[in-house]
């Protein structure tokens, strides 16, 4: 059986994701679609709207055959680390190809850019260091350094979010397995960061979450999501009485900041260059998470980078912990599968280079402990008895099986 890989967050699964799943299988002529999906905290440093288990159901009911969790150590990270973890897992799962969405829509642009950047690496790194010394944020420094190299018309535009991730997927594959095939589909109608609806049926996950948080009415977003997603969102709201947003975690974050001294805070992953002073000062005066973020935001640090830092504070993820971990995922945690997915796993399981984890009690690992801690913190965004109910899923929920 032939499989194609997808890197996803599904926050939540919408019509654009459905098109992506269908196109990935069609373009690659694959029998099986495997999604590596972030867990309960995401790459932009946000809690997922609903749990990884609910998002796994959405994916399986909409055509994905296997869902593997991207470990916390890679999910809540900058693009390079996020991409490496995801591509490593898809390669370990024996995918013959990977399909991603991009603003470009032309895979040859990514391949050309990879070659171009390899030739210009020394010059590129020099420009990055120069721009960072000027106080420019890391993502902006990368974009400016790229422009300094003078990319030609065959190169991809690395100023847009999906193109950036796509480039890092291709870059990671060149190191992990150059034989991986790549396919890309062009994002249309809705951009990654779009906050409003501009199309009849396609909207970004950002605009869907914003509408849901603002109005709390699922009918406002039903045109943009498959009916399976709508049903799962209704079920989650019924089961847990709310969706997850950053403000639910603000009291815990504020407490952590006010109870830590500067030395302790400096030990947290991504707390650098005196940020601990700014964080503690803002924690004393801010009334909510949004006002806290506005107080700590600077030109040098993006909103996304600071949100990731806040997640690491919440989960007490220290520099020493991350630096001691292996640079690639050490296991593949199975969240769910279809009947075709189960058949595929039975076919490849003896060839897997890393353990396939379907039961927490059967496997111990420091990287996995971070996932468990993140799940515990995520559950604390809910009130009791919902908190305990959600946390129980982490230990008792077997991989979800969709027999449809």
39 is in an annotated binding site: no
SS3 4: strand
CA–CA gap between residue 357 and residue 395 (Å, rounded): 12
CA–CA gap between residue 24 and residue 63 (Å, rounded): 11
16 is in an annotated binding site: yes
243 is in an annotated binding site: no
336 is in an annotated binding site: no
**DSSP character string of 212-233:** HHHH--GGGTGGGS-HHHHHHH
192 is in an annotated binding site: no
Residue in this structure with the two tokens 């300094």, named with its chain if needed: 148
365 is in an annotated binding site: no
CA–CA gap between residue 185 and residue 111 (Å, rounded): 15
Torsion sign (Cα): 50, 53, 55, 57: negative
284 is in an annotated binding site: no
41 is in an annotated binding site: no
- Decide if 252 contacts 380 (C-beta within 8 A): yes
256 is in an annotated binding site: no
17 is in an annotated binding site: yes
CA distances from 328 to 34, 86, 172, 318 (A): 18, 9, 11, 18
Residue in this structure with the two tokens 């000062």, named with its chain if needed: 281
86 is in an annotated binding site: no
Helices (H), 29-106: 52-61, 72-75, 79-92
Torsion sign (Cα): 80, 81, 84, 89: negative
Closest CA to 41 of 302, 270, 378: 378
- Decide if 66 contacts 93 (C-beta within 8 A): yes
Q: How far is the first Cα of the chain from the last one, in angstroms, to the nearest whole number?
A: 19
271 is in an annotated binding site: no
CA–CA gap between residue 4 and residue 31 (Å, rounded): 8
- Decide if 228 contacts 15 (C-beta within 8 A): no
Rounded to 5 degrees, φ, ψ at 99 are -120, 130
Beta bridge partners of 252: none
- Decide if 379 contacts 387 (C-beta within 8 A): yes
Residue 260 per-residue DSSP state: S
20 is in an annotated binding site: yes
- Please give the annotated binding residues, written as ranges: 7-20, 101, 162, 187
- Please give the annotated binding residues for ATP, written as ranges: 7-20, 101, 162, 187
């Amino acid at each position: 059986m032939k499989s194609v890989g997808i890197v996803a967050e599904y926050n939540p699964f919408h019509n654009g994701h459905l098109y992506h799943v269908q196109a990935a299988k069609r373009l690659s002529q694959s029998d099986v679609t495997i999604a590596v999906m972030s867990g309960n905290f995401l790459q932009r440093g946000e809690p997922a709207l609903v749990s990884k288990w609910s998002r796994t159901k959405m994916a399986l009911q909409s055509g994905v055959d296997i869902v593997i969790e991207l470990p916390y150590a890679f999910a809540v990270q900058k693009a390079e680390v996020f991409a490496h973890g995801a591509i490593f897992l898809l390669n370990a799962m024996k995918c013959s190809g990977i399909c991603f969405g991009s603003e470009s829509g032309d895979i040859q642009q990514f391949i050309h850019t990879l070659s171009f950047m390899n030739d210009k690496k020394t010059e590129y790194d020099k420009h990055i260091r120069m721009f960072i010394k000027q106080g420019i944020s890391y993502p902006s420094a990368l974009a400016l350094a790229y422009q300094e190299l003078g990319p030609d018309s065959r190169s991809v535009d690395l100023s847009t979010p999906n193109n950036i991730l796509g480039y890092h997927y291709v870059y990671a594959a060149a190191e992990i397995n150059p034989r991986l095939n790549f396919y890309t589909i062009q994002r249309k109608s809705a951009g990654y960061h779009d906050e409003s609806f501009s199309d009849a049926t396609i909207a970004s996950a950002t605009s869907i979450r914003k509408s849901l948080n603002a109005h709390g009415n699922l009918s406002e977003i039903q045109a943009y999501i498959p009916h399976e997603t709508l049903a799962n969102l209704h079920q989650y709201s019924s089961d847990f009485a709310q969706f997850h947003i950053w403000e639910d975690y603000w009291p815990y974050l504020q407490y952590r900041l006010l109870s830590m001294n500067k030395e302790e805070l400096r030990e947290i992953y991504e707390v650098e260059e005196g940020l601990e002073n700014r964080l503690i000062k803002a924690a004393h005066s801010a009334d909510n998470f949004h006002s806290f973020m506005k107080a700590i935001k600077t030109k040098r640090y993006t909103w996304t980078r600071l949100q990731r830092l806040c997640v690491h504070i919440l989960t007490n993820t220290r520099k020493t912990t991350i630096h001691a971990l292996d640079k690639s995922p050490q296991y593949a945690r199975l969240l769910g599968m279809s009947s075709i997915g189960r058949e595929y796993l039975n076919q490849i399981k003896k060839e897997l280079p890393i353990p396939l984890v379907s039961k927490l009690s059967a496997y111990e690992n420091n990287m996995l402990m971070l996932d468990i801690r993140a799940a515990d913190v995520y559950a604390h965004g809910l009130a009791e008895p919902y908190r305990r109910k959600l946390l129980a899923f982490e230990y008792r929920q077997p991989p979800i099986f969709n027999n449809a």
